[in-house]
Amino acid sequence: EQDQDWWRGGVIYQIYPRSYQDSNGDGIGDLNGITQRLPHIASLGVDGIWISPFFTSPMKDFGYDVADYCDVDPMFGTLADFDTLIETAHALGLKVMIDQVLSHSSDQHAWFQESRASRDNPKADWYVWADPKDDGTPPNNWLSIFGGSGWQWDTRREQYYLHNFLTTQPDLNFHCPAVQDALLETVRFWLDRGVDGFRLDTINFYIHDKQLRDNPPLPKEMRNASIAPSVNPYNYQLHIHSKNQPENLEFLQRFRALLNEYPGTTSVGEVGDAQRGLEIMGEYTSGGDKAHMCYAFDFLSGKDLTAQRVVDVLTAVDAAAPDGWPCWAFSNHDVPRHVSRWGLTPQAAKAYATLIHCLRGSVCLYQGEELGLPEAEVAFEDLQDPYGIEFWPEFKGRDGCRTPMVWDGANRNGGFSEGTPWLPVGRGHFQLSVAAQEDAPEALLHHYRKALSFRHSHKALMKGAHGKLRAEGEVLSFERSHADETVFCAFNLSDTPAVIDMPEGDWRQIGAELGAAAPQAEGKLHLGPWQSALALHH
C-alpha cells in the first residue's frame, strides 16, 4: 500500500539538469543523463527527486523562463525521455517532482507574444501592463529581484510590463481568472503524465497589489547598484506590495484541490522572504488545503549556523503554525554551497548532515551535497549567470554551485560529459567524485546514506513534533516524538569538546554508525568536536 504522506518528513534530492549528466556530448546535462544516474540517487535512500526546469526555454535564466509549459526543451530531450525517466524512477522507488515556474513566463511564450501585440487582444491582461506616469517614468517604484526597475517599457503597447526577475521574465497576471485556469491546466498536464509533485517557484510572487501602490523606498545608503538585491538585507521587505497578496491563498486552494484529484502528490512552495518566510510558510501550509510544504530560506545564508540560530528558527516555526510544514535545505542552485559558506571541515560537514536529517519538516538535498562539494570558483570569462555577470565582483552569482556533478575523478570532466561542459568542473571537485568516495568507507557520501537510513527508521524523526529546544554554548539539542517514540538529538557545533546534562529518564544510545556519543553515568553527555548524540527513550 502506498503511503500518501510520503512527503511528510521525506527527503528530496534536487537535480539541476544542465549539470547532472550529459548523455550526448553537447556539454549540457539532459533527461537521459539523469535517468542513467538514478541508481546513484536511489542508493542514497532519498524518497524522491525534484528536477529544476527542463521545459522549452530561451534559457535566459537557464529554464526559469518558460516558453512552453507542456514540452521538454530539445536541449534536455523529449517528452518520451521524460516518460522513461519517470518510469525508471518509479521502478527504483523514487518519486518525481518537477519545478513549476508559474509566477512569470519567458517573453518568448506565445501568451506573452499575443499579450504584447495590442491593448485589446484576448490575452491583453494576461500579464501586468500599466501606463507610464505623466512624465513617462514607470507606474511605481517596484524593483526587480535581479536589479533595477521591475518595469520594462514595451514600444508596441506603449506601456510598461512588470517583471520581478529578468526583463525577459514578464510577470503573469494572477488577478485574471483565465491565467489561473491556463496555468492549472499545465499542472494537470504533468499530473496526467505521472509526476508525484511540484516545486513551486517564487510562490509568494504570484499575486501583486492590484492598485500598484509604491513599496517603501530603499534606504538611501542601500541604493548602491553594486549590492545584489538578493543579498541586500532590505530587499525583501521592500516588495510588500509586489508580492504575497491575500488572494494568493485562494489560488493555492484551487491548486490543492487539483492535486487532491491525484492522491499521493505533493507540493513545496518556494518562499523567498528573509523577514516573513516562516510566517508565510505557516499561512501557506496550515489547514491542509493549500501548499503541502514551504521551502525555508533560513539555513541558506549566513557565515555560519550556530546552535542558537537553529533554536531561534525552530521556535519561529512553532510560533508561525504548529501544523505548518517546512522543507529545509542548506544548499541549492541559487546560493553558495554550504560547505564553503560556513567554512566546514569534513568532520563539521558530517555533523550538519546528521543534523538536517533530524529536523522536523522535510529535507531537500542539492546534487553534490552528498559529496561535500565546496563552491567552485568560476572565472569571470566563464560566467553564465546573468545575475552574476551584472553584479560581479561584489556578488559572484550562482555559477559556483551549478558546476557539473563529479562522477569519476579519473575521467575527463569528472565523467559528466564527453564534450566541453557548459561550466568547467570545479577544480577541487575531482578528488571528491562519487567513485572516489564509494571506495572510502569514511567518506561523507556514506555518512549521508547512514543519516538517511537513520531518519527513515525512526517515525519520530520523519513525522514527530520537536520540543525542549536548547542551545547551551555551541551544543544544540532537542527531542522529537511521535506516538510512543521519543528521540533525543544533540549536536556539538564546534571544534571544542563539550559536556551537557542529559534530560531526565532512561535513554538508550542509537546512531552509533553516525559516530554519535553514548550518554555517560550520572546523566552527563560528553561530546567530542562536531560530535552528535542520539538516544531513544525507553
Residues of this chain that interact with Ca ion (CB under 5 A) are 22, 24, 26, 28, 30
Residue from the set 73, 196, 298, 334 that interacts with ligand TEU by CB under 6 A:
334
202 binds ligand TEU (CB under 6 A): yes
Residue from the set 47, 107, 196, 201 that interacts with ligand TEU by CB under 6 A:
201
For ligand TEU, what does the binding mask look like between residues 38 and 77, x meaning CB under 6 A?
-----------------------x--x-------------
Residue 102 beta carbon to ligand TEU: minimum distance, rounded to whole angstroms: 10
Conformation bin of residue 483: beta by default, left when phi > 0, alpha when psi is -120 to 50: left
Residue 46 beta carbon to ligand TEU: minimum distance, rounded to whole angstroms: 20
In the set 61, 171, 201, 334, the catalytic residue is 201
Query: 513, 491 in Cβ contact below 8 A?
Result: no
Torsion angle defined by CA atoms of residues 169, 171, 177 and 183, in that order, rounded to the nearest 10 degrees: 30
Q: Among 6-14, 327-335, 362-370, 476-484, which window interacts with ligand TEU (CB under 6 A)?
A: 327-335
Residue from the set 230, 242, 248, 481 that interacts with ligand TEU by CB under 6 A:
230
In the region spanning residues 270 to 289, those forming contacts with ligand TEU, defined by CB under 6 A, are 272
Active site residue 201: yes
Residue 241: contacted member of Ca ion, ligand TEU, none (CB under 5 to 8 Å, by partner type): none
Distant-in-sequence, close-in-space partners of 35: CB < 8 Å, separation ≥ 6: 81, 84, 85, 88, 89
In the set 120, 192, 261, 504, the catalytic residue is 261
| Cell (9 digits) for 291 | 501548499
User: Which residues face 198 on adjacent strands?
Assistant: 98, 267
Residue 78 beta carbon to Ca ion: minimum distance, rounded to whole angstroms: 12
Residue 30: contacted member of ligand TEU, Ca ion, none (CB under 5 to 8 Å, by partner type): Ca ion
Task: Give the chain's count of helices (H) and strands (E).
Answer: 13, 20
- How do 159-162 and 129-130 pair as beta strands? antiparallel
Q: Using the minimum distance from each CB to Ca ion, give the nearer residue, 54 or 127.
A: 54
Decide: residue 131, CB within 10 A, 0-12 exposed, 13-18 middle, 19+ buried.
exposed
100 binds ligand TEU (CB under 6 A): no
Residue 334: contacted member of Ca ion, ligand TEU, none (CB under 5 to 8 Å, by partner type): ligand TEU
Query: 416, 393 in Cβ contact below 8 A?
Result: no
Residue 201: contacted member of ligand TEU, Ca ion, none (CB under 5 to 8 Å, by partner type): ligand TEU
Query: 355, 307 in Cβ contact below 8 A?
Result: no
In the region spanning residues 290 to 309, those forming contacts with ligand TEU, defined by CB under 6 A, are none
Nearest residue to 473 (alpha-carbon basis) of 446, 453, 496, 456? 496
Residue least distant from ligand TEU (Cβ): 272
Active site residue 5: no
Distance (Å, whole) CA 134 – CA 140: 12
Residue from the set 112, 126, 161, 165 that interacts with ligand TEU by CB under 6 A:
165
Residue 286: contacted member of ligand TEU, Ca ion, none (CB under 5 to 8 Å, by partner type): none
Query: 364, 331 in Cβ contact below 8 A?
Result: no
399 binds ligand TEU (CB under 6 A): no
DSSP code per residue over 442-476: TSHHHHHHHHHHHHHT-HHHHH-EEEEEEEETTEE
- How do 48-51 and 95-100 pair as beta strands? parallel
Residue from the set 37, 338, 396, 398 that interacts with ligand TEU by CB under 6 A:
398
In the region spanning residues 120 to 149, those forming contacts with ligand TEU, defined by CB under 6 A, are 145
Residue 276 beta carbon to Ca ion: minimum distance, rounded to whole angstroms: 40
Query: 444, 368 in Cβ contact below 8 A?
Result: no
**Residues contacting ligand TEU: total by CB under 6 A:** 13
Residue 145: contacted member of Ca ion, ligand TEU, none (CB under 5 to 8 Å, by partner type): ligand TEU
Query: 58, 157 in Cβ contact below 8 A?
Result: no
Residue 28: contacted member of ligand TEU, Ca ion, none (CB under 5 to 8 Å, by partner type): Ca ion
Query: 295, 204 in Cβ contact below 8 A?
Result: no
User: Which residues face 477 on adjacent strands?
Assistant: 470, 490
Residue 165 beta carbon to ligand TEU: minimum distance, rounded to whole angstroms: 4
Distance (Å, whole) CA 250 – CA 520: 53
Report the interface residues with ligand TEU, using CB under 6 A. 61, 64, 101, 145, 165, 201-202, 230, 272, 333-335, 398
Which residues are annotated as catalytic?
201, 261
